[in-house]
Structure 1
Amino acid sequence: MINRSYLHTGLCLVSLMLVACSSTEKREDFTSLATLEREAISNQRVTQWQQLDDAAPVNYLSDLIQDEKLDALIEQALQANPSLQKMQLTLQASLWGIKSQRGDRLPSVEAGLSSSKSEGNSTQYSADVGIRWEADLWNKLALSEASSTKTLASDEAQYQASRDTLAANVMKSWLAITANARAIEIEKKRLALLQSNEALIIKRFRNGLGDLEALDEASTSTAQSQSDLAKYQEDLAIEKRNLQLYLGSTDPLLISANVDYPTVALPLASLPEQTLHRRPDLKAAYLSIEAADLNTSVAYKDMLPSISLSATLSETAESPTKALFGSPIWSLIGQLTQPLYQGGKLEAAAEIAKLETAQAYQDYKDTLLTAVNEVDNALGQESLLLVQKKYTQDALLSAQKNLLQYERKYRTGLVELNDLINAQTTAFNLEAELDNIIYQHLSNRVNLGLALGLGVQGS
C-alpha cells in the first residue's frame, strides 16, 4: 500500500509541474532576426564592395602599412594605454565572477565550533558541519551562468573593438605627423620665395620702379605665410601629443616624421572574408542579445519551484576533541519551494527581461546600420579622393608648366612681377592641396579597413 505522505508529495509535484508549464511563454527569437538582418545587408552590399580595387588581400590593420617603427608604436599603445588596460582588468574581474557563479551549482559546506559555560556546569563544546545543495531542477543556474558567459564574450568583443580603434588612431596619427611635417616644408619653401619677392619689390620701390600697393601686398603675403607656418608647426606638436596620449606615456615623444607618405593597401581584394561578420562591435551586440535572451529564460524559471537539500552533523561534548571527533548526530532536510505570490514582482521581472532582450536587438540593428554607414561613407570618400587626387595632380602639373613660362617671360620683361607672383601662389596652393588630399586618402583607407572589421592580432 502506498504511503499517503508519498502520494501527497507526488500530487504536489504534479501540480507544480503544471504550474511550471503555465509559467512558460513563447518569445520572439531575436537572435535569428539579428542573423537575418546581417545576412540581408551583407548580400546587398558585398557585390558593390568588391568592385573597387585589386590590391593584395590583408588580414589585419597592421598589414595596411608595412613599417617596423609604426608596428612598435602600435604594440606600445596596446600594452600601455590606460583606458585599454582598465578594460582588460574589468574582463578579468568578470571572469572571476563567472567562476564564483559556478559555485552556486555545487554543494556548499560550512563548519563551526563554539563553546558555552553556565554557572555550576562545565564548559560545553559544540561542533557542527552543514552541507547545502540546491538542485538545478529547471537548469536555471546553468542558464544564468551561460548568460554571464555570453556577457563576458560580448565584453571581450568590445575590448577587441577598442584595441582595433586604438591601433587605427595610432596609424592615422602617425600619418598626420607626416602630413604636418610635409605641410611645414611646403610652407617654408613658399615663405622663402615670398621673402625673396618682398626684398625684390622693396628694391624696385626704392629705385622708383614699383608702387606702395605692391609693397603692402607682398608684406601681407609674407606675414600670412609666417602665420600659416606657425600654425602648421603647432599642428605637428599637437599630433605628437595625441600620439603620446595613445601610447599612454608622459615622456617626450622622440619620433621623426617620414619624408614621404607610405603605401597604404586597400583591403577589398578578399572581401568575402572581410565583410561585416568580422566587426567586433557587431559580434558584441549579437552576444548581448543572446545574453539577454538567457536572462529572460532565467526570469521565467524564477517562477518555478525549487528543491534544496541540506544535511547537518552536530555534536556537543565536554572537550573540543570529543565535539569534533565524537559520534555526531545527523539530520537531512529536503525542501520544495514554489513562489505563489510576491505582488507581481516575478512577472514584472520576466517582462523587464523580455523588454531588455528587445532593446538588445534594437542596439544590434543600430550597430549594424552604423557599420554599413561607416563602410559606405569610407567607400564614397575613397572614390571621391581618388578623383580629387587625379584632377589636382593634373592641375598642379599645368600650374608648374605655367610657372616656368612666366619665369621665362619675366626674365625677358614680357610679364610683370605681380603676374609671376600669382603663378607662384597658384602652384604652391595646388601643391599643398594635393599633399592634403593624399593624406586624407591614406587616412580614409585606415578608416575603411577598420569599418570592414580589420583589427589587430592577438588579445
Structure 2
Amino acid sequence: MLIRLALISFILLTACNPLQPPKSDPPQLPEKYAAPAESTEQRPDRWWQSFNDPQLDQLQEQMLSGNLDLRQSLYRLDQLDALRRTSGAGLWPSLSANASAGRDRTPSAAGESTSSSYRGSLAASYEIDLWNRLHDKEQAAEFRRQAGEKEAESLLLSLTAQLAENYFSAGEQRAQIALLQQQIERNEKLLATATDRYRAGLASAEEIYQAQVSLVALQAQLPQLQTALVRSEQALALLLGRFSGEEVTTTATLPEPGTAGDNSLPASLLQQRPDISAAFLQLQAADHELAAALADKLPGISLSASLGRSVTRLSSGDIEGTFWSLAASLVQPLIDGGRRQAAVDQQQALRQQQATQMQQLLIKAVQDVETALVAERNSLLRYRQLQQQQHISQQTLELNQANYRSGLTSSSDLLNSELQQLNIRSQLISSQAGWLSSRISLARALGGSWMAEERKKQQNHLSAKEDK
C-alpha cells in the first residue's frame, strides 16, 4: 500500500515537464501599410470574379478540380493525418494476443514420453506520460497537419493567380498579334500604293525600299508573339491538368483598367494569408517537438500486464492453469553519448530557424502588398497617359494620311506616323496587362478566406472518387 501511494504521489508531483520551453507568440502585424489610401473599393472573396469574365470563372473552376499539383497536396494531407494518428497512438495502452501450440517427444530410461502443450494469453503495456512527452509529439503532429492544410490553401491561392496571369497573358499576346496583323495588312497596301506611285513617277525608289523594310520588320515580330502565346496556352493546359494539344479557350480582349483599387486596406488582412498561418503552425509544432526532446532526458515509467491459460498434456496426466503477471519499470537515462542533448540542440535550432523564417515571411508579405498597391495605381496612371498620347498620335496620323492622299507628304512620313501609332497602341495593351498583373499580385498578397472551404470541397471530391 505504501509503495502504491508513493507511486501516485510521484506521478502527481511530476505531471508537467520542468524543462518545458516557453510557447511562441503569434506574429505581430503592422498597423497599416506604407502605401497611401485612396479608395474603399470592395473586392469579392473569390477575387477573380471582380473581372466579370465568365470564361475566366469557368477555367478557374476547371483548374480547381483538375490541377495535379493540388491533387498531390491533398494526398500529402492524408499522409500528415496518418502521421498524426500514429503519434497519438502512443498515448493509449497496447494490447496483443498470443497463442502457441507444441508437441514434444523426449527419450528417457523408462522409454519415450510424448507431451502436447497449448498456451494462450493477452499482454498489455502502457507508458505513463509523466512529462507530456507523448502528448507533445501528438500536438506537434497535429500542428504539422494543420500547417499542411494551410499550405494547400496557399497553393490554391497561387494556382488561381497563375491561371489568371496566363489567361490574360494569352489575351495580351492575341491582342498584340491582331494589332500587328492589322498593321501588316495596312503596310502591304501602302507598299502597293507606293509602287504604283513610283511607276507613275510620283514617288522615289527610296519610299518603296522604306515601305519594304517597315513591312519586313513588322512581319519579323510575329514569330516572337506567337511563341509567347503558345507558352501561355501550354501553361494554362498544365494548370488545368490537360495535354497541350487540347484547346483552351482564352480571352481575345483585356478588361478595361478601372479604379486603382482599395489602398486603404488594413494590415490585419494579412492574417488571411495561409502561408503566414502555416509558418506559425510549423513554429508551434517545433515548440512541442522541443518539449518532447527535453522530456526524453527525464525518467520514464512503463506498466505491463499479461493474463493467460496453459494446458500441457502428458502421458502421466494433464497440467493446466491460469497464469498472470504485473510489472512496472522505471528508466532514467544516464549515459547515451550525448544523443538526447544533441536532439534537444537540433530542435532548438530548428525552432529558431522557423521563428526567423516566419518573421522574414511577414516582412515580405507586407512588402508584397505595398508593392502591388503602388504598381496598380501607377499602371492605371500610365494607361491614362498613353490614352492621351494615342489621341494626339491619331490626330497626327489622320493629318498625314490626308496630306499623303493630296500628295503633300511622302510615304515615309506616313509610315513613321503609322509606326508611332502602332507602338502606342501596343504599349496600351501592355499597360492593360500590367494593370491586370498588379491586381492579381495584390489578390495573391492579401490572401483570403475562400481557400479553406475550397480545400474541404476538393478533399471531399477526392475521397468520393477513391470510394468508387
Alignment TM class, shorter chain as reference: 0.7 to 0.9
Decide whether aligned partners of structure 1 residues 274 and 230 sit closer, same or farther in structure 2, where only a CA change above 3 A counts. farther
The alpha-carbon deviation at position 18 of structure 1 amounts to: 13
Decide whether aligned partners of structure 1 residues 19 and 292 sit closer, same or farther in structure 2, where only a CA change above 3 A counts. closer
Give the whole-Å Cα distance in 2 for the aligned partners of 1:71 and 1:300: 51
The alpha-carbon deviation at position 195 of structure 1 amounts to: 0.6
Decide whether aligned partners of structure 1 residues 131 and 114 sit closer, same or farther in structure 2, where only a CA change above 3 A counts. same
Q: Does 1:52 align with 2:44?
A: no
2:460 corresponds to: none
The alpha-carbon deviation at position 142 of structure 1 amounts to: 1.2
The alpha-carbon deviation at position 267 of structure 1 amounts to: 5.7
1:288 corresponds to: 282
Q: Does 1:125 align with 2:118?
A: yes
1:328 corresponds to: 322
Residue number among 98, 101, 104 corresponding to 1:112 in the alignment: 98
For structure 2, the residue ranges without an aligned partner over 5 or more in a row are 106-112, 314-319, 456-468
Give the whole-Å Cα distance in 2 for the aligned partners of 1:67 and 1:340: 69
**Residue deviations 1:321-377, cap 9 Å, x none?**
xxxxx7521111111222122122112211221111100001101211221222222
Give the whole-Å Cα distance in 2 for the aligned partners of 1:190 and 1:53: 39
Give the whole-Å Cα distance in 2 for the aligned partners of 1:204 and 1:121: 124
Give the whole-Å Cα distance in 2 for the aligned partners of 1:20 and 1:231: 66
Q: Does 1:70 align with 2:56?
A: yes
Q: Is the 8 A contact 1:313 1:331 kept in 2?
A: yes
Decide whether aligned partners of structure 1 residues 255 and 264 sit closer, same or farther in structure 2, where only a CA change above 3 A counts. farther
How high is the TM-score relative to the length of structure 1?
A: 0.88
1:345 corresponds to: 339
Q: Secondary structure at the match of 1:150?
A: helix
The letter of the residue matching 1:58 is: P
Residue number among 255, 272, 289 corresponding to 2:266 in the alignment: 272
Decide whether aligned partners of structure 1 residues 427 and 328 sit closer, same or farther in structure 2, where only a CA change above 3 A counts. same
Decide whether aligned partners of structure 1 residues 285 and 148 sit closer, same or farther in structure 2, where only a CA change above 3 A counts. same
Give the whole-Å Cα distance in 1 for the aligned partners of 2:286 and 2:137: 10
**Residue deviations 1:178-234, cap 9 Å, x none?**
211111111111101111111112222223333333222211111121121233233
Q: Does 1:409 align with 2:403?
A: yes
Q: Does 1:91 align with 2:84?
A: no
* Percent of aligned pairs sharing the same letter: 24
The alpha-carbon deviation at position 148 of structure 1 amounts to: 0.8
The letter of the residue matching 1:138 is: W
Q: Secondary structure at the match of 1:190?
A: helix
**Residue deviations 1:71-97, cap 9 Å, x none?**
221122122211211111011111122
Decide whether aligned partners of structure 1 residues 314 and 266 sit closer, same or farther in structure 2, where only a CA change above 3 A counts. farther
Decide whether aligned partners of structure 1 residues 142 and 6 sit closer, same or farther in structure 2, where only a CA change above 3 A counts. closer
The letter of the residue matching 1:130 is: A
Q: Secondary structure at the match of 2:154?
A: helix
Q: Is the 8 A contact 1:20 1:305 kept in 2?
A: no
Q: How many residues are treated as equivalent by the alignment?
A: 438
1:421 corresponds to: 415
Deviates more, 1:230-239 or 1:281-290: 230-239
The alpha-carbon deviation at position 388 of structure 1 amounts to: 1.2
Decide whether aligned partners of structure 1 residues 18 and 395 sit closer, same or farther in structure 2, where only a CA change above 3 A counts. closer
Give the whole-Å Cα distance in 1 for the aligned partners of 2:231 and 2:385: 31
Q: Does 1:186 align with 2:174?
A: no
Q: Secondary structure at the match of 1:117?
A: strand
The alpha-carbon deviation at position 401 of structure 1 amounts to: 0.9
Q: Secondary structure at the match of 1:308?
A: strand
Q: Is the 8 A contact 1:123 1:318 kept in 2?
A: yes
Decide whether aligned partners of structure 1 residues 230 and 19 sit closer, same or farther in structure 2, where only a CA change above 3 A counts. closer
For structure 1, the residue ranges without an aligned partner over 5 or more in a row are 320-325
User: Aligned Cα RMSD in Å?
Assistant: 2.7
Give the whole-Å Cα distance in 1 for the aligned partners of 2:176 and 2:8: 86
Residue number among 182, 195, 201 corresponding to 2:194 in the alignment: 201
Where in structure 2 are the equivalents of 1:253-268 lying within 5 Å?
A: 253-261=247-255, 268=262
Give the whole-Å Cα distance in 2 for the aligned partners of 1:19 and 1:293: 15
**Residue deviations 1:218-254, cap 9 Å, x none?**
1111112112123323322221111001101115124
The alpha-carbon deviation at position 108 of structure 1 amounts to: 0.5
